[in-house]
Amino acid sequence: MGKIRNIGMLTGGGDAPGLNAVVRAVVKTAKQYGLGVVGFLNGFGGLIKNQVRELNERDVAGILPRGGTILGTTNRDNPFCYPIVKDGKKVYVDVSDRIFENIGIQEVDALIIIGGDGSLAIGRDLHEKGLPVVGVPKTIDNDLWATEQTFGFDSAMTTATEALDKLHTTAESHHRVMVLEVMGRYAGWIALTSGIAGGADTILIPEIPYNIESIVKKINERSRQEKQFSIVVVAEGATPIGGEMVVQKRIEDSFEPVRLGGIGNVLGRQLEEVTGKETRVTVLGHLQRGGSPTPYDRILATRYGTGAVKLIMDGRFGEMVCLTGPTISSVPLKEAAGKIRQVPLDSDLIYSARMLGISMGD
């Protein structure tokens, strides 16, 4: 590997609060090393189509508190499985060679990929094909292997907690059961942490299949204690015992094709039918992805961005920056990508929830 002169960067997958903080940190750190920075637009699509913008300190001024990403993002355009129309039919082909051509055209010496497990898996494959890649872990779901926390999670958890604070007042006033559906995919981090912070009575997560009778038991128990309302937080990936996750839709061109969603409404109808209590359902959806990042996420994202540039300058390609205890370190992409980090069943978070009298639905 020759001397590093220019860094390329992209943001892939779903947006998350803190993406702009990473972009800012990369640009400002790169300047300290005398490096140029090029941003590829709209995820891997920009790499494939050679859509770029140069980034300097003026471009990143004021973006630290902004949600979203100034580079644009998408969870489509996997270069190893890219859709094209051939003879009137959609087929999928490997166009990864275009990336190497465009990297050469832009005179980029190393690429930073900021994304979740789908984006980082593509980054791993590109590195194995010879591209100098460094990964930055991003997801509100906090489900990436090999890092203790991803940026975006704290902001999403805060949004969910604030929603629970608001739902409490109307639930208590109207003596209702309030069901809040939150994101998280196949991990229950958002549901569990916001449920504890927001004073939920029942928390349902993918790691613990639930029994509807256990939830009803908790609601009735509260009624006997003259507490005529209940708050239920359910992760989008939660399932009943012996049942399956509720899938909202599938997007075949995405490298994250399954879209979960709808469990809140299913559960709400069941609870109202069985308990006879008026039940309302709130689905936070993309509210959890938007808005200004919390101070914690701004700091974590900044540390990841500066750490990514340091990996490049140290020549440590094929690695992902991660949080280990209080320290920013790194792990090989091949160990981090494609693995899901769920809530351990022996987690002290689950223990604390149970000791507070929160039902986990089992």
pLDDT tens, 325-351? Answer: 999 999 999 988 878 999 999 999 999
| pLDDT score of 330 | 97
| pLDDT score of 196 | 98
Residues 314 and 350 in one domain: no
Mean pLDDT across 288-312 = 97
Residues 146 and 282 in one domain: no
Residues 219 and 175 in one domain: yes
SS3 203: strand
Residues 69 and 11 in one domain: yes
Question: Is residue 4 pLDDT above 80, yes or no?
Answer: yes
DSSP symbols for 3-16 = ---EEEEEE-SS--
pLDDT band at 261 (very low <50, low <70, confident <90, very high): confident
| pLDDT score of 1 | 54
Q: Give the chain's domain count.
A: 2
Determine the Cα–Cα distance for residues 158 and 309; give it in Å rounded to an integer: 29
| pLDDT score of 255 | 64
Torsion, Cα 359 248 114 8, to 10 degrees, reads: 180
Residues 328 and 285 in one domain: no
Mean pLDDT across 305-328 = 97
Q: What mean pLDDT is reported for the chain?
A: 94
Residues 19 and 145 in one domain: yes
| pLDDT score of 253 | 67
In a domain, 362, yes or no: no
Residue identified by tokens 């390329």 is 8
| pLDDT score of 45 | 96
Active-site residue, from 117, 125, 141, 297? 141
Residues 209 and 74 in one domain: no
Distances (CA, A) of 308 to 122, 245, 311: 17, 36, 5
In a domain, 191, yes or no: yes
How many CB atoms within 10 Å of residue 7? 27
CATH code of residue 115? 3.40.50.450
CATH code of residue 217? 3.40.50.460
In a domain, 1, yes or no: no
| pLDDT score of 257 | 74
Mean pLDDT across 197-208 = 98
The answer to whether the CB of 73 falls within 8 A of the CB of 84 is no
Mean pLDDT across 215-232 = 94
Q: Which domain holds residue 264?
A: 155-290+344-355
Residues 116 and 201 in one domain: no
| pLDDT score of 248 | 82
Mean pLDDT across 265-281 = 94
The gap from C-alpha 197 to its chain's centroid, in whole angstroms, comes to 20
Under DSSP, the state recorded for 362 is: -
In a domain, 90, yes or no: yes
| pLDDT score of 120 | 95
Residues 10 and 135 in one domain: yes
In a domain, 231, yes or no: yes
In a domain, 10, yes or no: yes
How many CB atoms within 10 Å of residue 113? 31
| pLDDT score of 65 | 97
pLDDT band at 247 (very low <50, low <70, confident <90, very high): confident
| pLDDT score of 87 | 87
Question: Is residue 160 pLDDT above 70, yes or no?
Answer: yes
| pLDDT score of 338 | 77
Residues 41 and 137 in one domain: yes
Angle at which helix 295-313 crosses helix 19-32, to 10 degrees, equals 40
Mean pLDDT across 188-210 = 98
pLDDT tens, 93-149? Answer: 999 999 999 999 999 999 999 999 999 999 999 999 999 999 999 999 999 989 999
| pLDDT score of 320 | 97
141 given a catalytic annotation: yes
Residue identified by tokens 């930073």 is 112
Determine the Cα–Cα distance for residues 203 and 295; give it in Å rounded to an integer: 26
In a domain, 123, yes or no: yes
Instruction: Please state, for a pLDDT cut of 70, what percent of the chain lies above it.
Output: 99
In a domain, 360, yes or no: no
Mean pLDDT across 171-192 = 95
Residues 170 and 74 in one domain: no
| pLDDT score of 305 | 98
Residues 113 and 24 in one domain: yes
| pLDDT score of 269 | 95
pTM for this prediction? 0.93
Mean pLDDT across 159-166 = 97
pLDDT tens, 62-94? Answer: 999 999 999 999 988 999 999 999 888 989 999
